[in-house]
Structure 1
């Protein structure tokens, strides 16, 4: 099999609107899609299937959380690297699938499972790191943050389940906007501030790298522990707000 040229490959795997969609992570638009394009060009000429790539992605995401169990800056750096690998493979698996036209419900399931496990693993790893691998309130906070993140993801995915079970088409970006003008303004404000991004494993690993450097300078875990408290509070402020946003939007309306 001859490897496709980059422009030919890009026209298929990055269709119009793909990089501008709400589902596209900002790091994907900034640099990762340029990297994934070249990795995908190599992989389309191999026996690696999209689902096999997704499985590796799942393990990379969980490894990012596990790396936080290693003390010091080194563990935080390793966590970031694993999470960047996760993001790369999250781009590549779909690109290989689009090029080969190999789509399956199993692939979608594995992709969503990977997102759940990666973000939850980072939250648990954060709590363990702040607790110095012992039993402490910081471990409880990490577990609470993980549960909250899972609820955030599940509440979004349950919209698709509810619409499918009701015989409705998949929700569009327009139906995400709350019908209440007040809620819409609050949503725009929170998006502008960007604090919600810290509950995403990708951004959270970067935050924990910064806190690890700060802690190394201080000689303790004060900054990481403050970040653990802050992230957990943000998660549990977002959970009820997200549910209200979903109920107030047109996503669950016929």
Structure 2
């Protein structure tokens, strides 16, 4: 069969609302990756490749970011960034291929969430190990490895807090949460949430943003000849993850999502 054109693919794999999802679409997907993924889709929708196989590959690249970041200097940061960009590309492609082939499954949704958890954790663990400079000193400075792991734990918990809302509502016999229910009932909590959303500092613990930050820090450290900014970034991301975990939990409890 002839490959479908981008124009033929777009209305099917990018139905109305896909790019506008508040919590389901990353800014990088809207900005550029959805256009790249369309070009990849053309070569896959006519093959026997399944959406779940693409999700497994997506997860592989996300996890690959951790060992990639262990390569010293700018090359390691570049490899980590590339691994995460490939993760993002496949995160777009698997759903688009599923829409075109009409191959949907709860297993696919589950695998996609697992991949998101693992990618975020891998990048932050990789950052902590990178900051510990195992190749430069011959031993791991466990403080930085611990802080990176702490940041990874926070990033995973933030996602879990969101996902567990759906679990709690299902077990309580309630329908899925509506978008309006995420707004805090307390004006004070709502103000804090709006401030955090405006600053967007919380996004730095996500794998895509973190990998970009790591690259910038690597360039600065290469000019300095040390790991000062990589280590500073590790400590800052650990602090952001801990604060955001607490604030996100308070925001959920203060909203109507569990009502």
Q: Per the shorter chain, which TM-score range?
A: over 0.9
Aligned to 1:172: 178
Alignment of 1:1-254 (within 5 A): 1-22=1-22, 23-133=24-134, 134-253=140-259
Give the Cα–Cα distance (whole angstroms) in 1 for the partners of residues 91 and 176 of structure 2: 21
TM-score with structure 1 setting the length: 0.97
Give the Cα–Cα distance (whole angstroms) in 1 for the partners of residues 184 and 42 of structure 2: 40
Could you tell me which runs of 5 or more consecutive residues in structure 1 were left unpaired when the two chains were aligned. Answer: none
Q: Name which of structure 1's ranges 197-206 and 135-144 shifts more when overlaid on structure 2.
A: 135-144
Q: Deviations over 1:207-234 (max 9, x none)?
A: 0001101111001000100000101000
Give the Cα–Cα distance (whole angstroms) in 2 for the partners of residues 78 and 231 of structure 1: 20
Give the Cα–Cα distance (whole angstroms) in 1 for the partners of residues 225 and 8 of structure 2: 52
Matched residue pairs, number? 253
Q: Deviations over 1:132-165 (max 9, x none)?
A: 1303211110111111111111111111111111
Give the Cα–Cα distance (whole angstroms) in 2 for the partners of residues 150 and 192 of structure 1: 22
Runs of 4 or more above 4 Å deviation:
none
Give the Cα–Cα distance (whole angstroms) in 2 for the partners of residues 202 and 65 of structure 1: 13
CA RMSD for the aligned pairs? 0.9
Give the Cα–Cα distance (whole angstroms) in 1 for the partners of residues 155 and 37 of structure 2: 27
**Conservation of the 8 A alpha-carbon contact between 1:66 and 1:122:** no
**Secondary structure in 1 aligned to 2:16?**
coil
Give the Cα–Cα distance (whole angstroms) in 1 for the partners of residues 92 and 256 of structure 2: 29
**Secondary structure in 2 aligned to 1:192?**
helix
**Conservation of the 8 A alpha-carbon contact between 1:178 and 1:248:** yes
**Conservation of the 8 A alpha-carbon contact between 1:43 and 1:96:** yes
Give the Cα–Cα distance (whole angstroms) in 2 for the partners of residues 178 and 241 of structure 1: 12
